Structure 1
Amino acid sequence: MFDLGRSFLASVERRPQAIAVADGTLHKSYETWYYDIQSVARALEGFGLGKGDHLLVVMQNRWQMATLHWACQFAGIIVTPVNWRSTAQDIEFFIADTEARVIAYDESASEAVYASPSAQLLVHIIAGDVEDQSGHSFDSLLGGQGNTVLRATADDPSLMLYTSGTSGKPKGVPRLHRVERAAALAHVAQNLYRHDECTLGVMPLYHTMGVRSLLSMALIDGKFVCIPKFDPAATLDAIERERVSNLYLVPTLYHMLIEHADFASERVSSVEKLGYAGAPMSAGLIARVEEAFSPSLFVNHYGCSEIYTFTIDQDASAKPGSSGRAALNQRIRVVRVGTDSPDDVVPMGEEGEIIADMNGDEAFQGYWHRPDADQKSLKQGWYFTSDTGYFDVDGDLFVTGRVDDLIITGGENVSPAEIEDILSLHPQVEEVVVVGLPDERWGSIVTAFVKTRITIDEEELDRHCLERELARFKRPRRYFFVDEIPKSPVGKILRRVLREQDASPVTNLSTQ
């Protein structure tokens, strides 16, 4: 099987003059970019990095970061991208965990890098507007001459992503070249991409969705359009300017795009295919996105950093909430919550924990130096996701949340996703998140945090739930009307933040 360096080289040989990457006014063909990538790969080796070493990268999405990613694929170096919002303490942890000797960063992370004592002992590669007299500017790595760098094999590590670390320290997820290539090929097939595709590179390159967009375009000689960080106006400009043909975003970013004052369907007319992942998309948002884009393909991806894709649904608007069926390289099951056995499968329609086959082509091999995490998640050849869900009568999977998100109220199990779907269909509800808050009488009470378009009251939303035939025990008993829903840097809802809030509720309906 090809490694990723050879995969990129194949695109260079097929269509050397095709535009490979765009970043503002900068456009580079596959041939030109390849020369840059090779020069950077030689420079990295000149800094003492060899096969199996880590390059720590703390940058926003820019062509320099994408170049470093590809240079590592040729050199056999493990590219290790981390959140550019990382603190100095985070940087200290990443350096200790990876034993990195070189760090690449831009102005978005310079303050944290300067404040990290360990970072000062490393070789620095700097991009953008950074004042670092001891560092090597990225531009100084370009233009070098030498032998072709093509060191990696399909069984060498390609990159290491870090999980979000909602509890404890982040966990490193190393992934092999063949695993990354299999995931990218499946992404191409499942999204029906063709060779002249152009995608928006706005999902961070420290996130599995961003990496998948980068790799999939290179496999089909496509164009990757860098967006340093999401801004609705700048994103709309890029879509229109570059004639972007597909989008792969978290639901939050779709919401922000179509709600922006500058949005118009004509500006995004080049977009034919939509994909989303990272979180469920409510039925209300699905309908609005469908109307705004009129896509020929609308794909819901369900997966994670460890095993890229679990399931896909290529017609997301036909059955809102469905995650579809197992992806090309995967098998999935739903087992009883709390079991260690992959054979403890629950009946159709019953909620349980979702597990995935570790023999799939896209699966990682285990966490980086974390046997405790392996023991918790890897059992008898299966990956236990900690996600909850169920299969419906058609065999489609519905993901209902995390094991920890399941609300147990009065002894009944309640899925937040079901309630969020119903509330999202109210025309004046812009965003909604449902969590369980502690309650002396019920254990937990169903609580909705709602961002509205205009002022409405809780009685109106309660009526809406009843009209939609939501069972009474599932109805929110408390409503909070909020200006914003807290989200992570990649747009995931931070339910933990909502569960920890201590403000007084707008109303309490627990006695109704």
Structure 2
Amino acid sequence: SFFRLITIHLILQMAAEAMGDREAISAGDQRLTYAQLDHAARRVASRLQPGQRLAYLAENSPVMPAAIFGAALAGTPFVPINYRLAAEQVDALMARVAPALLISETAKPYADIDRISLADVATGTAMEGEAPDEKGGIAIELFTSGTTGEPKSAILRHSNLMAYIFGSVEFMSAGEEEASLVTVPPYHIAGISAVLSSTYAGRRMVQLPNFSPQGWIDLAQKEAVTHAFVVPTMLQHIVEHVGTNGGTLDLPNLRALSYGGGKMPLPVIEKAIELLPHVNFTNAYGLTETSSTICLLGPDAHRDAMASSDAHIRRRLGSVGQALPAIELQIRSEDGPVCAADEVGLVYVRGEQVGGEYKGIGSQLDDEGWFPTKDVGFVDSEGYLFLDGRADDVIVRGGENISPGEVEDVLLGHDGVKEVAVVAVPDQEWGEAVGAAIVCAGIAPGVAELCDLVRDKLRSSRVPAKIIFMDELPYNETGKLLRRVVRDQLAGQ
């Protein structure tokens, strides 16, 4: 494959040569053009010793894109670390990263790790020449936010990331006035892909290190932001904030708003479309292991679903759309055969951008190149993918598999339910039963009323054996629902 011969540094090299004077990044008072970003990347590369990986333990800053491309230029992996982890968790990851050069303001000394600050990257010599031919070398190592056990280190090769960029972005396709608001942290695959795709398109990156609804709105207005990506919890906070502050969202420059990284509650996306009728909404579904996006629900599909009175089309607003042209998608039953349309099973994907590989564990692709995403879902007759949660989240009640998603959707249909998380709770008779944690919209509905709703819409085996009410559901900072925390809460009641 052509992709096996090039590195992601080529993306920056092309941008620097074709549009070097164009602004690449704005972060507070700092501004960098593509030529300056390439120079910064070359300074990062010159700091690396042979055999060192490049670790990054800091918030979003102009150094982060320079570090991604600098590592590629030096022929070594870029390894971002979650700066929100507890100290002992960071220590454990640093031990796995060594030997490395670490870019960080705050890190303590570690064995076999040289540390430089963000300011240090602004000085020193710049590496000349081009990146080595990688022939499938590793570009990025991302520690997954493992909800159980030790985080796995997902490996993405240059060939995976270049296949994704070449397959989904057009070079220099952005106008000079276009600006993308980046709020996703550096250690999230969406943060990595934002850098690669913005640089290739020539779209200025506006960095917001710490998200708050008002901060996001203010920066979008100040920088005339045209594009943005948010996780569902961020959009929910923005919509709620606007609701309590006059009810209008004045973002005339915003053209496109993408979201992903978790399940989007239907009322939130409906309200957002209502607040921003001039904006193109896109739902992007992807995984760390697939170099970011593999399915898209595009702006036209959003509009068609919102305008339709046909329930079949309307429900697509709750889907993650159709597979990208370069991605193949299959739903398989647990014992192997491919499922028919609308039949729930396990989601498998295949394509050049799919890494599906972990450090020390190896490739998870099967003999034909298919990757098991561990997500459960179904595809409708038009190829729209509907996700039903993780395979690990399935509730097994007396041998019957129950998807949390189907129960959640029914409960969310009640006007008094704002958010819901359905998980397995221990049951002496059935092994597991359905438990539900509910965040109310206004007055709390009665438990019996909610149980009746599930019984009427589904069947008695799906009725929650236990319901608790919470002020808010637990999410991590990238918008993933922490079901294990909900399980613990329910078990403790």
TM-score with structure 1 setting the length: 0.84
- Give the Cα separation in 1 of the matches to 2:452 and 2:210: 37
Could you tell me how far apart the structure 1 residues matched to 2:126 and 2:377 are? 53
1:175 is matched with 156
Give 1:366's aligned amino acid.
E
Alignment pair present for 1:354 and 2:347: yes
Whole-angstrom CA distance in 2 between matches of 1:246 and 1:174:
28
How far the C-alpha of 1:220 sits from its partner, in A, is 1.0
Whether 1:285 aligns to 2:285 is no
Structure 1's 461 and 329: CA in aligned 2 closer, same or farther, altered over 3 A?
Answer: farther
Cα pair 1:300 1:323 within 8 Å, conserved? yes
Q: 1:187 to 1:435 in 2, by over 3 A?
A: farther
Asked if 1 retains the 8 angstrom alpha-carbon contact of 2:45 and 2:127, the reply is no
Counterparts of 1:410-449 in structure 2, within 5 Å, are 410-449=398-437
Equivalent pair of 1:200/1:246 in contact (CA under 8 Å): yes
Pairing 1:303–2:283 present: no
Cα separation, partners in 2 of 1:292 and 1:414, compared to 1, 3 Å: farther
Structure 1 vs Structure 2 CA RMSD: 2.7
Q: Deviations over 1:91-133 (max 9, x none)?
A: 3332333333321113xxx3xx32xx6x15521112xxxxxxx
Q: Distance in 2 between matches of 1:140 and 1:399?
A: 45
Post-superposition offset of 1:269: 2.9
SS at match of 2:40: helix
Aligned residues: 470
Aligned mate of 2:147, from 166, 191, 195:
166
The answer as to 2:122 corresponding to 1:139 is: no
Match of 1:396 in 2: 384
Q: Who is 1:246 aligned against?
A: 227
Shift of 1:496: 1.2
Mapped to 1, the partners of 2:226 and 2:413 lie a distance apart of 28
Which runs of structure 2 are paired with 1:334-483 in the superposition (5 Å)? 334-337=331-334, 339=335, 341=336, 344-357=337-350, 360-364=351-355, 366-371=357-362, 374=363, 378=366, 380-459=368-447, 462=450, 465=453, 469-483=457-471
Match of 2:42 among 38, 44, 51: 38
What SS does structure 1 have at the residue aligned with 2:289? coil
Report the Cα distance in structure 1 between the residues aligned to 2:230 and 2:287, rounded to whole angstroms.
14
Q: Which residue of the other structure, out of 14, 20, 26, is the alignment partner of 2:24? A: 20
1:153 shift after superposition:
3.0
- How far apart are residue 401 of structure 1 and its match? 0.9
Contact 1:331 1:356 in 2 (8 A): yes
1:188 Cα deviation (Å)?
3.1
Deviation of 1:424 (Å)? 3.0
Q: Deviations over 1:463-492 (max 9, x none)?
A: 893698444543434321101211112110
Give the Å deviation of 1:277. Answer: 1.7
8 A Cα contact 2:226 2:255, kept in partner: yes
The answer (yes or no) to whether the contact 1:316–1:322 under 8 Å persists in 2 is no
Distance 1:292 1:410 in 2: 45
Letter in 2 for 1:346: C
Question: Contact 1:41/1:149 (CA < 8 Å) preserved in 2?
Answer: no
Identical aligned residues as a percent: 27
Q: 1-side partners of 2:449 and 2:19: how far apart?
A: 55
Matched, 1:11 2:15: yes
AA aligned opposite 1:213: A
- Counterpart residue type for residue 441 of structure 1: E
* Cα distance per residue 1:285-312 (max 9 Å; x no partner): 2212221222543222222111133322
The match for 2:256 is 273
Give the unaligned 5+ runs of structure 1: 127-137, 506-512
Distance 1:94 1:159 in 2: 15
Counterpart residue number, 1:257: 238
In 2, are the aligned partners of 1:434 and 1:447 still within 8 Å (CA)?
yes
